[in-house]
Amino acid sequence: MTGALTTDTNSAKHGVLNYAADELKACFKDAGIPAFRAAQVLEWVYRFGQTSFYDMTNIGKSLQKRLDEMFYIHRPQIVDVASSSDGTKKFLLRLADATTVECVYIPDVKRKTICVSSQVGCSVGCKFCNTGYSGFVRNLTAEEIISQFMVVKDYMGMWSCDDRLSNVVFMGMGEPLLNYQNVMRAIDNMMLDSEAGLSRRKITLSTSGISPIIHKVAKDLPCRLAISLHAPNDAMRSSIMPINEVYDIRSIMEACEEYSAHHKFLKITFEYLLLSGINDSKECAIELLNLLRSLNAKINLLRFNEWEGCEFKASPGLKVREFANILNDGGLEASIRTRRGADIMAACGQLSANSTGTRVV
Ligand code: SF4
């Protein structure tokens, strides 16, 4: 399997959540356990949220004991849950090595979304982002990514058929395409509960524009793609997103064209954070329109959520509406995203979990 198996440091046990379904079946087979037992375990884990082999009632006692000696099904520890007045909840989770990550539960009338993290910190260093400001610590394992999903379902009591998480967005801490293998594995496993009705099209990968990996996503993964663009030209983008000096707008556009060729009916979302006096002029809106009008794209305009120590200010509401009007009048679908969880520092760009680390650019 790709990505290291997570091993319990006190024993030789392996984490079930790190195995893809076919890998767990192969592992059972190697141990002389019939493959259908792996399917039973996966159903308990992903459909019912079970964390103890001893509670898997269709598995005999001696096999329960053996499985418990071979594997574990862990959850990260919930350190804190902050609740917003709009129903959003931000979870601070402690991992086995004592590092921390955050994930956010965002309910609304039509959907229940979880925003997950893919790394502890982030190496990309976008200047407006609290996570990037804190630096990079390490990639999350597949188990650590999917267990955010599991923890939220546990906490919210969402293991029944009629109350489910409907959408997953990789917009938390980290750049998911710099942890591609583990993110792919976590996405595959999220879909193991067929009852949940979670399809790849309800999963959105948000990237700062790692164009070589966008080409892979285009070929391998029919989930939704969101590009954090935030500027209409290279000079402006590089000044707020240094990663643009490595993967420029042209390379991102080429990768997006390939994605659209593979997924004709999936619109690419471009995220555009409006920063006062930086990227919110009428000229920027027109340049953005010209850049994106040939793609199957829509634009989410984001109001900046200020955080302590940040050099940027949010664009005034009137300016945001003007910007949206120029795009919509030009034939590009643009909407102004509602701020969720800003009062608990759970909104876009506000997650940090107090990690400290390094940046790649
Ligand atoms: S916006 Fe995303 S890619 Fe940029 S620093 Fe923050 S977490 Fe990393």
Q: Does residue 316 form part of some domain? A: yes
Residues 22 and 158 in one domain: no
Residue 360 pLDDT: 36
pLDDT of residue 346: 53
In a domain, 141, yes or no: yes
What share of the chain in percent tops pLDDT 70? 88
- Whether residue 359 is contained in a domain is answered as no
**Ligand 1 binding pocket includes 132 (Cβ within 6 Å):** yes
The answer to whether position 232 is within a domain reads: yes
pTM higher than 0.95:
no
- Asked if the structure places residue 8 within a domain, the reply is no
Same structural domain, 222 and 240: yes
State whether 67 and 205 are in the same domain: no
What is the chain's mean pLDDT, rounded? 88
Do the Cβ atoms of 106 and 90 come closer than 8 Å?
no
The whole-angstrom separation of Cα 90 and Cα 88 is 7
Atom of ligand 1 nearest to the CA of 125: 5
Encode pLDDT of 82-103 as tens digits.
999 989 999 999 999 999 999 9
Q: Is 354 inside a domain boundary?
A: no
Q: Is the CB of 271 under 6 A from ligand 1?
A: no
Tokens 């979870």 sit on residue: 91
More confident residue, 282 or 9: 282
Q: Where is the domain boundary, 47, 72, 97?
A: 72
Does 243 lie in the same domain as 168? yes
**What are the DSSP calls for 205-261, one per residue?**
EEES--HHHHHHHHHH--SEEEEE---SSHHHHHHH-GGGGTS-HHHHHHHHHHHHH
The residue from 56, 72, 88 where one domain ends is 72
- Residues linked to residue 139 through DSSP beta bridges, in sequence order: 119
Q: How confident is the model at residue 105 (pLDDT cuts 50, 70, 90)?
A: very high
Tell me how far the alpha carbon of residue 102 lies from the centroid of ligand 1, in angstroms: 14
Mutate which of 131, 171, 230, 243 for ligand 1 pocket (most atoms within 8 A of beta carbon)? 131
Is 176 found in the same domain as 36? no
User: Would the pLDDT of 67 be above 90?
Assistant: yes
Structural domain span for residue 236: 77-344
Asked if the model's pLDDT at residue 340 lies above 90, the reply is no
Rounded to the nearest angstrom, the distance between the alpha carbon of 175 and the centre of ligand 1 is: 6
Same domain (yes/no): 192, 139 = yes
Mutating to test ligand 1, I would choose from 102, 118, 126, 246 the residue with most ligand atoms within 8 A of its C-beta, which is 126
CATH number, domain containing residue 22: 1.10.150.530
**Residue 77 CB: number of other CB atoms within 10 A?**
13
Q: Residue 343 and residue 106: Cα distance in Å, rounded?
A: 13
Are residues 133 and 202 part of one domain? yes
Tell me the pLDDT tens digit for each residue of 110-137.
Answer: 889 999 999 999 999 999 988 767 789 9
- Ligand 1 probe mutation, 104, 115, 116, 122, most atoms within 8 A of CB: 122
The confidence band for 163, taking pLDDT boundaries of 50, 70 and 90, is confident
- Domain ends where: 24, 56, 72? 72
Residues 171 and 269 both lie in one domain = yes
Residue 355 lies in a domain: no
How many independent structural domains does the chain possess? 2
> Is 126 known to be catalytic?
no
181 shares a domain with 35: no
Tell which phi-psi region holds residue 8, choosing left (phi > 0), alpha (psi between -120 and 50) or beta. Answer: beta
Give residue 201's identity as a one-letter amino acid code. Answer: R
The answer to whether residues 206 and 310 belong to one domain is yes
Residue 2 in domain? no
The backbone torsions φ and ψ at residue 227, rounded to the nearest 5 degrees and listed phi first, read -110, 125
273 CA to centre of ligand 1 in angstroms = 12
Catalytic residue among 102, 143, 175, 271: 102
> Is 258 among the catalytic positions?
no
86/20 same-domain check:
no
Atom of ligand 1 nearest to the CA of 174: 7
What is the structure's pLDDT at 192? 79
Whole-number Å distance between alpha carbons of 156 and 353: 21
Task: List the CATH number of the domain containing 251.
Answer: 3.20.20.70
Looking at the structure, tell me whether residues 64 and 169 fall in a common domain.
Answer: no
